[in-house]
């Protein structure tokens, strides 16, 4: 029973020396690893004073047409128009007698 316990104790001791020895002895250090990721942004500070008003911007595009409004009131009746041109002469009728 003592032999497995002794073997286990020696095995753990060797593992501990290999794992923790270089850190405590200040021995040769390995290469530095890659840089870590950026941390979280901090709290947003107090808002500053409002700046001066800038120049007017360019005129925007024309918007879409609006809805058609209600029909307006009927206007006053206008005066008579000019007399029109004389119409074309019609065809001679069938029921007329030549005489």
The secondary structure of the chain as a DSSP string is: -HHHHHHHHHHHHHHHHHHHHHHHHT-------PPPPP-------------------------------------PPPPP----------PPPSSPPP-
Q: Is the pLDDT of residue 90 over 70?
A: yes
**pLDDT exceeding 90 applies to what percent of the chain?**
44
Report pLDDT digits (tens) over 32-45: 889 999 989 888 88
């Amino acid at each position: 029973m003592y032999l497995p316990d002794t073997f286990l104790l020696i095995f753990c001791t060797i593992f501990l020396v290999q794992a923790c020895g270089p850190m405590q002895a200040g021995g040769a250090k390995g290469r530095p690893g890659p840089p870590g990721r950026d941390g979280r942004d901090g709290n947003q500070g107090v808002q500053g004073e409002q700046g001066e008003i800038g120049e007017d911007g360019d005129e925007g595009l024309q918007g879409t047409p609006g809805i058609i409004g209600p029909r307006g009131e009927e206007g006053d009746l206008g005066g008579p128009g000019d007399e029109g041109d004389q119409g074309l002469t019609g065809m001679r009728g069938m029921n007329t007698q030549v005489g």
